[in-house]
């Protein structure tokens, strides 16, 4: 009986009803029908709780000490200046290896100095890396090509100014969460596939946390997330690529070649936003091409488990991530 109940709870957690917070909307409707003022208060309280959770979201390893961070404008666009933050380790060095960090948010939300991203930057800086955390334009007003051009321009800015910023442009690891991991994987697979040596200069590896690698899988029936489907369609709406091939074209899994750099994949088995299968299939293809890779799995982790859970598996995953990045770097 206990086993049956556990299975039911697990299935319920991954259902369309829970994943898309439909119950929250229904409660709001019922309260509003009963009393419009009551419905309004419920909406405000729900918003406050959600904001509070976002602002408190961080990796479970608290890092002591002050870190130096500096903000730079790496690109000017018609609507706004695009910025990046560089987080330096406490100890002084002239030539820091770089973790080039890209936030998630389905390409349509999120920002570089969001609490969860800042906590990642501090954690990695505590391990001796300089962490470059970037912003990019959102997909609801721009295309995937625009976003990829921002990603490329931020990386080029770091390389071109590395001597002024005390950074080692020959020791770079690309890292991203969710949509940010997709951009990191797409950049590296595309340019290694096409042998664009200048674009891949200095890049030693990629770290992708719960990232979509095959965009077609966002739309499979098993994936219950309306947000993921909306964000993907919205970002790819104005692409110059043929509509039938658009999801294939922007899927990193289709650009893997024998030239791909070492890769670390991290994913929670209970992810209801980006299918776990996305990383499983990517790992299989890396193996096919004899690419060095590691795949860390959290059996009870969902999307963004790294900043939602504080269990020993999550802590070990963070530590193993920093060790794998260190392994990727030369002359550490």
pLDDT at 49: 64
What is the rounded distance in angstroms from the CA atom of residue 100 to the CA atom of residue 122? 13
Q: In angstroms, rounded to a whole number, what is the distance separating the alpha carbons of residues 115 and 111?
A: 9
Q: Averaged over 216-232, what is the pLDDT?
A: 87
Greater model confidence, 220 or 186? 186
* Mean pLDDT computed over 8-31: 53
Q: How confident is the model at residue 211 (pLDDT cuts 50, 70, 90)?
A: very high
Query: What's the predicted TM-score (pTM) here?
Result: 0.89
> How far, in Å, CA of 317 to CA of 252, rounded?
23
Q: What is the pLDDT of residues 21-52, one digit of tens each?
A: 555 545 546 545 655 665 555 456 655 665 66
Residue 270 tokens, joined: 């209970």
* Cα 283 to Cα 264: distance, rounded to the nearest angstrom: 9
pLDDT, tens digit, for every residue of 54-82?
Answer: 666 788 888 877 788 999 999 998 888 99
Tens-place pLDDT, residues 137-175:
999 889 999 999 999 999 999 999 999 999 999 999 999
Mean per-residue pLDDT for 225-253? 86
**60-328: which CATH topology?**
Rossmann fold (3.40.50)
Output the pLDDT for position 42.
Answer: 47
Angle, CA 211 vertex, CA 209 and CA 214 arms, to 5°: 155
Angle CA 126–128–134, to nearest 5: 80
Contact 22, 16 (CB under 8 A): yes
């Amino acid at each position: 009986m206990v086993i049956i109940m556990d299975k039911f709870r697990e299935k319920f957690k991954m259902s369309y009803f829970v994943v898309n917070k439909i119950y929250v909307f229904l409660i709001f409707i019922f309260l509003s029908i009963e009393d419009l003022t009551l419905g309004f208060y419920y909406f405000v309280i729900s918003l406050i709780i959600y904001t509070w959770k976002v602002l408190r979201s961080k990796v479970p390893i608290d890092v002591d000490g002050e870190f130096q961070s500096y903000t730079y404008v790496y690109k000017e666009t018609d609507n706004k200046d695009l910025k990046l933050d560089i987080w330096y380790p406490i100890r002084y060095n002239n030539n820091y290896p770089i973790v080039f960090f890209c936030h998630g948010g389905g390409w349509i939300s999120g920002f570089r100095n969001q609490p969860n991203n800042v906590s990642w930057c501090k954690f990695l800086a505590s391990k001796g890396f300089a962490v470059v955390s970037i912003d990019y334009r959102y997909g609801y007003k721009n295309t995937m090509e625009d976003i990829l051009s921002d990603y490329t321009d931020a990386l080029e800015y770091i390389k071109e100014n590395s001597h002024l910023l005390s950074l080692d442009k020959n020791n770079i690891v690309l890292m991203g969460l969710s949509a940010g991991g997709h951009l990191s994987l797409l950049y590296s697979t595309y340019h290694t596939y096409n042998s664009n040596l200048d674009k891949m200069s200095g890049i030693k590896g990629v770290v992708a946390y719960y990232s979509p690698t095959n965009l077609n899988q966002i739309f499979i029936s098993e994936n219950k997330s309306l947000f993921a489907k909306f964000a993907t369609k919205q970002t790819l709406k104005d692409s110059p690529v043929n509509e039938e091939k658009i999801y294939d074209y922007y899927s990193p899994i289709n650009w893997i070649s024998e030239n791909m750099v070492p890769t670390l994949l991290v994913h929670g088995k209970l992810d209801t936003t980006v299918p776990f299968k996305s990383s499983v299939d990517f790992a299989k293809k890396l193996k096919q091409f004899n690419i060095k890779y590691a795949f860390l799995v959290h059996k009870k982790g969902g999307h963004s488990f790294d900043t939602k859970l504080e269990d020993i598996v999550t802590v070990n995953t963070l530590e193993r991530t920093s060790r794998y990045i260190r392994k990727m770097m030369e002359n550490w």
